[in-house]
């Protein structure tokens, strides 16, 4: 009776709140990925988050049913934080189906403004699912998007100069073509083509067009038996990624509860990452209420270093660049055939699954022998098996995976998400990846890769008062065997604290401090035997974001960094400062975003990562280092029906430099600028 009374009062009060809320985006993937990439050892490449946007578009047409969606579907939607997801599932277990969306207000972690934001994408209705849709409707009804993109660096890199010892064979243009037809989130067909700067187009090594071409057909929830079918290029993610994860893997970040792999097992591949996909056929079949089986087969050629006059490869290449004769010689050097699958049993409060992946290489992989890679995989075939699970017990959510590689080595990762209180959430993850463990596609939660690591991660999220959030984590690990540039067993730790003050859609201020300590070879050591020295990082950041009106947002960041090596005479220090201005008027066709930034660091070791808004659904998270200034502006015009036109200009200035970068990618001079144009036609 109390539940019905609450819902009756909410049905009057809640819509008034929702109507007053201004339009807002579901999420900002750029900021999320910036956090996730902050601790990596290399600058991030450009990202295409079109798939994330397409999920939100599909949910508007076919809202997610909160009463029938399982954990995978809820996680894939991107609407809920890990703690909200756990609390929602716990509430559903204890009270049964939700009677109305307004009931979300009584679940810990949800507030009125947050619920209003996700309301258009949800339902609790009991309508029958439209499972069998005629093929003609899938092909003729839906959304079509065509993208054309051109980019170019205005100053020539060394590889484009006539004096280059190893010249690029193509021109400096970067070209991108993409078409996709989609019906909700259930059917997708499309193709993608890309040419990187320096690669040839319709000549030389690419006589038929783009250097990279990808195509896919993907069908989801066609019948109760055929849950997913993929043809062409697709991605696969199994368990916690110990034996296979093609998707983006979450790791340590201010989102301290987001440590669990999850989401859809099969996905259409629409990116331009030339190494992280499968090509062939895959399907997921279901029977009964609780059983599901997925199988996949892939076979395509991949890049690798192939020593002269040998029928072997010495390393697998991931960059996907084919600009010089040497890079072209490594292109498609061998064929990789992969098959595998998953048998999954759904439980009342979780699941258990068995996974298998078998790789067959056309040429055996024989690495150049060094002490640190002595346990790495060598050969032409590899089998991996694993068991993964998840289980909820009240406010506790257990998950994990244990895997076996064919050299009889076990690896395991296990975690816990706990709602300790309405205002406190805890995450714990334990991992053990022995040096002898081998996998070609594994990407679990780790500091480095899926072997030679044992670690413990603890994270916490606290919401002490309405406008304040506190996130913190501590992660410690050991490497029992040698690593690249680390000639002894080593260890390290990392920690983070972020305090966030916010008022939804109005303003956000956060202060973040992050520290890291790792052991590597001592750069000051002289002689044949290396010793280890501790390398320490400390970063402190203040970030301000204010919505000055419904159309104008202003962001400012100040960040300080310090890098030191044990025994070195003095630490390296650095500073980053930038200001962003975003103008997106409602009802006016022209909008723009711009940034001006200053940075000053003593070297690459004390670098700052900061995401940059780019052309639509595309952005970068480069590393700011050295001494200089950076400016960019993005202009978007939507005054023509179904057409979006964009222009981007960016420039970096390094006073005193005579060259920017290294090798054939270096740019002579002290300035580097790039320009880009993109057209999107939706029909």
pLDDT digits (tens, 9 = 90+) for 397-423: 999 999 999 999 999 999 999 989 889
Do residues 675 and 649 make contact, with C-beta atoms less than 8 angstroms apart?
yes
- 85 domain residue, yes or no: yes
Give pLDDT, residue 275.
Answer: 86
Q: Which of 151, 147, 149 is nearest to 197 (CA)?
A: 151
64-65 and 122-123 strand pairing:
parallel
Element (H, E) at 501: strand 490-503
Q: What average pLDDT score do residues 653-662 get? A: 92
Element (H, E) at 10: helix 2-20
Q: What average pLDDT score do residues 250-272 get? A: 86
Distances (CA, A) of 562 to 41, 524, 602, 628: 16, 19, 9, 18
Q: What average pLDDT score do residues 48-62 get? A: 62
Give pLDDT, residue 395.
Answer: 87
CB atoms within 10 A of CB 382: 22
The total of structural domains in the chain comes to 1
Give pLDDT, residue 677.
Answer: 97
**Residue where the block lists tokens 């909410």:** 10
Is 217's pLDDT higher than 70?
Answer: yes
Give pLDDT, residue 153.
Answer: 96
Distance CA 444, CA 411 (A): 11
Do residues 346 and 398 make contact, with C-beta atoms less than 8 angstroms apart?
no
The domain of 9 spans 1-129
Q: What average pLDDT score do residues 267-289 get? A: 92
Sign of CA dihedral 602, 606, 609, 610: negative
Contacts of residue 67, Cβ cutoff 8 Å, sequence gap at least 6: 92, 97, 98, 124, 126
How distant is the alpha carbon of residue 78 from its chain centre? Answer: 13
Residue 49 binned pLDDT confidence (cut-offs 50, 70, 90) = low
Distance CA 401, CA 385 (A): 10
Give pLDDT, residue 127.
Answer: 54
Distances (CA, A) of 177 to 213, 239, 606, 647, 678: 9, 33, 37, 16, 10
- 88 domain residue, yes or no: yes
In 598-621, which positions are buried (b, 16+ CB within 10 angstroms) versus exposed (e)? ebebbeebbbbbbbbbbbbbbbbb
Give pLDDT, residue 5.
Answer: 42
Give pLDDT, residue 537.
Answer: 96
Distance CA 132, CA 226 (A): 10
Q: Which of 6, 320, 328, 388 is nearest to 166 (CA)?
A: 328
Tell me if residue 376 falls in helix, strand or coil: coil
Do residues 559 and 510 make contact, with C-beta atoms less than 8 angstroms apart?
no
Distances (CA, A) of 20 to 7, 14, 113, 383, 596: 20, 10, 10, 57, 34
* Window from 95-109, 164-178, 324-338 with minimum mean pLDDT: 95-109
Percent of all residues in the chain with a pLDDT value above 70, rounded to a whole number: 89
Residue 130 binned pLDDT confidence (cut-offs 50, 70, 90) = low
How distant is the alpha carbon of residue 479 from its chain centre? Answer: 25
pLDDT in tens, 563-612: 999 988 889 999 999 999 999 998 899 999 999 999 999 999 999 988 88
Task: Please tell me which residue, 658 or 49, carries the higher pLDDT value.
Answer: 658
Phi, psi of 238 (to 5 degrees): -115, 135
- 99 domain residue, yes or no: yes
Instruction: Provide the token pair at 534.
Output: 């501790």
Q: Which of 559, 529, 527 is nearest to 542 (CA)?
A: 559
Note the maximum CA span of the chain. 83
Q: What average pLDDT score do residues 539-568 get? A: 93
Distances (CA, A) of 266 to 78, 251, 284, 450, 617: 16, 21, 8, 22, 22
pLDDT in tens, 439-472: 999 999 999 989 999 999 999 999 998 889 999 9
Phi, psi of 308 (to 5 degrees): -60, 140
Residue 546 binned pLDDT confidence (cut-offs 50, 70, 90) = very high
Task: Please tell me which residue, 615 or 669, carries the higher pLDDT value.
Answer: 669
Task: Please tell me which residue, 177 or 127, carries the higher pLDDT value.
Answer: 177
Contacts of residue 170, Cβ cutoff 8 Å, sequence gap at least 6: 195, 197, 198, 199, 200, 201, 204, 323
Contacts of residue 422, Cβ cutoff 8 Å, sequence gap at least 6: 108, 109
Percent of all residues in the chain with a pLDDT value above 90, rounded to a whole number: 62
Q: What average pLDDT score do residues 87-92 get? A: 84
Q: Which of 133, 128, 119, 225 is nearest to 185 (CA)?
A: 133
* Window from 119-123, 301-305, 416-420 with minimum mean pLDDT: 119-123
Give pLDDT, residue 106.
Answer: 82
Tell me if residue 172 falls in helix, strand or coil: coil
- 487 domain residue, yes or no: no
Task: Please tell me which residue, 66 or 386, carries the higher pLDDT value.
Answer: 386
- 263 domain residue, yes or no: no
Task: Tell me how far apart the terminal alpha carbons of the chain are, to the nearest angstrom.
Answer: 49
Most confident of 181-190, 278-287, 548-557: 278-287
pTM above 0.75, yes or no: yes
Most confident of 45-49, 125-129, 425-429: 425-429
- 44 domain residue, yes or no: yes
Distance CA 160, CA 156 (A): 6
- 384 domain residue, yes or no: no
- 456 domain residue, yes or no: no
Instruction: Provide the token pair at 322.
Output: 């084919």
Distances (CA, A) of 195 to 30, 173, 212, 301, 547: 24, 8, 7, 18, 38
Contacts of residue 163, Cβ cutoff 8 Å, sequence gap at least 6: none
Q: Looking at beta carbons, which pairs linking 390-398 to residues 24 or more positions away fall under 8 Å?
A: 390/71, 390/350, 390/351, 391/347, 391/349, 391/350, 392/86, 392/89, 392/90, 392/93, 392/349, 392/350, 393/349, 394/90, 395/86, 395/87, 395/90, 395/419, 395/420, 397/86, 397/89, 398/350
Most confident of 76-85, 244-253, 369-378: 369-378
532-547 and 667-668 strand pairing:
unpaired
Is 279's pLDDT higher than 90?
Answer: yes
Residue 19 binned pLDDT confidence (cut-offs 50, 70, 90) = very low
Q: What average pLDDT score do residues 492-511 get? A: 91
Sign of CA dihedral 194, 196, 202, 203: negative
Q: What average pLDDT score do residues 529-542 get? A: 93
**Residue where the block lists tokens 């450009």:** 46
Is 28's pLDDT higher than 60?
Answer: no
DSSP 541-574: EEEEEEESSSSEEEEEEEEEEEEEETT-SS-EEE
Element (H, E) at 234: strand 226-236
Residue 222 binned pLDDT confidence (cut-offs 50, 70, 90) = confident
Q: Which of 407, 459, 457, 408 is nearest to 432 (CA)?
A: 457
Q: pLDDT averaged over the chain? A: 87
Q: Which of 284, 239, 238, 237 is nearest to 388 (CA)?
A: 239
Give pLDDT, residue 15.
Answer: 39
Is 3's pLDDT higher than 90?
Answer: no
Is 21's pLDDT higher than 60?
Answer: no
DSSP 601-655: ESSGGG-EE--EE-STTEEE-PEE-SEEEEEEEEEEEEEETTEEEEEEEEEEE-T
Distance CA 474, CA 459 (A): 6
Distance CA 467, CA 1 (A): 33
């Amino acid at each position: 009776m109390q539940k019905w009374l609450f819902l009756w009062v909410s049905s009057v009060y809640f819509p008034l709140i929702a109507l007053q809320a201004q339009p807002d985006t579901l999420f900002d993937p750029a900021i999320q990925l910036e956090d996730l990439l902050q601790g990596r050892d290399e600058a991030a490449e450009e990202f295409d988050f079109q798939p994330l946007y397409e999920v939100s578009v599909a949910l508007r047409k076919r809202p997610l049913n909160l009463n029938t969606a399982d954990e995978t579907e809820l996680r894939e939607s991107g609407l809920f934080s890990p703690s909200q997801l756990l609390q929602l599932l716990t509430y559903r277990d204890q009270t049964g189906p939700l009677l109305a969306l307004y009931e979300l207000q009584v679940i810990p972690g949800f507030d009125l403004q947050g619920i209003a934001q996700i309301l258009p994408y949800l339902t609790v209705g009991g309508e029958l699912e439209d499972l069998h849709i005629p093929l003609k409707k899938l092909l003729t009804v839906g959304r079509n998007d065509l993208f054309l993109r051109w980019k170019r660096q205005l100053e020539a890199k060394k590889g484009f100069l006539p004096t280059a010892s190893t010249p690029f064979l193509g021109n400096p243009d970067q070209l991108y073509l993409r078409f996709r037809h989609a019906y909700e989130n259930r059917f997708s067909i499309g193709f993608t083509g890309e040419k990187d700067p320096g690669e040839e187009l319709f000549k030389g090594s690419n006589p038929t067009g783009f250097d990279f071409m990808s195509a896919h057909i993907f069908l989801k929830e066609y019948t109760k038996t055929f849950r997913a079918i993929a043809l062409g290029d697709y991605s696969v993610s199994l368990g916690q990624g110990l034996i296979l994860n093609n998707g983006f893997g979450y790791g340590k970040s201010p989102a301290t509860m987001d440590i669990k792999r999850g989401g859809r097992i099969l996905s259409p591949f629409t990116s331009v990452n030339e190494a992280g996909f499968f090509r062939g056929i895959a399907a997921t079949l279901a029977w009964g209420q609780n059983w599901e089986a997925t199988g996949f087969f892939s076979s395509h050629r991949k890049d690798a270093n192939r020593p002269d006059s040998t029928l072997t490869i010495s390393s697998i290449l991931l960059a996907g660049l084919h600009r010089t004769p040497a890079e072209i010689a490594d292109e498609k050097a061998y064929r990789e055939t992969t098959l595998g699958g998953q048998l999954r049993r759904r439980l009342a409060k979780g699941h258990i699954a068995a996974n298998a992946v078998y790789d067959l290489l056309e040429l055996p992989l024989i690495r150049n022998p060094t002490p640190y890679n002595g346990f790495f995989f060598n050969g032409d075939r590899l089998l991996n098996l694993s068991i993964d699970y998840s289980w909820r017990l009240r406010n506790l959510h257990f998950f994990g995976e244990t895997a076996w590689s064919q050299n009889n080595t076990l690896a395991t990762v296990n975690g816990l998400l706990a709602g300790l209180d309405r205002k406190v959430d805890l995450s714990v993850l334990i991992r053990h990846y022995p040096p002898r463990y081998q996998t070609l596609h594994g990407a679990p939660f780790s500091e480095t890769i899926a072997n030679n690591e044992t670690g413990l991660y603890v994270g916490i999220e606290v919401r002490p008062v309405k406008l304040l959030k506190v996130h913190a984590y501590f992660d410690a690990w050991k490497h029992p065997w040698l690593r690249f540039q680390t000639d002894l067993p080593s260890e390290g730790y990392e920690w983070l604290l972020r305090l966030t003050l916010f008022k939804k859609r109005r303003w956000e201020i956060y202060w973040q401090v992050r520290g890291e300590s790792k052991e590597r070879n001592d750069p000051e050591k002289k002689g044949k035997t290396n010793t280890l020295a501790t390398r320490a990082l400390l970063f402190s950041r203040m970030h301000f974001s204010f919505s000055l009106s419904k159309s104008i947002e202003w962001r400012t960041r100040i960040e300080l960094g310090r890098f030191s090596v044990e025994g070195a005479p003095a630490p390296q220090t650095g500073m980053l400062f930038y200001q962003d201005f975003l103008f997106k008027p409602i009802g006016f066709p022209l909008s723009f975003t711009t940034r001006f930034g200053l940075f000053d660091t003593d070297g690459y070791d004390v670098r700052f990562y900061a995401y940059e808004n780019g052309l639509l659904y595309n952005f970068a998270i480069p590393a700011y280092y050295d001494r200089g200034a950076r400016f960019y502006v993005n202009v978007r015009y939507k005054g023509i029906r179904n057409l979006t036109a964009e222009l981007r200009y960016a420039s970096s200035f390094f006073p005193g430099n005579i060259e920017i970068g290294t090798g054939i990618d270096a740019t002579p001079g002290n300035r580097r600028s790039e320009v880009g144009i993109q057209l999107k036609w939706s029909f």
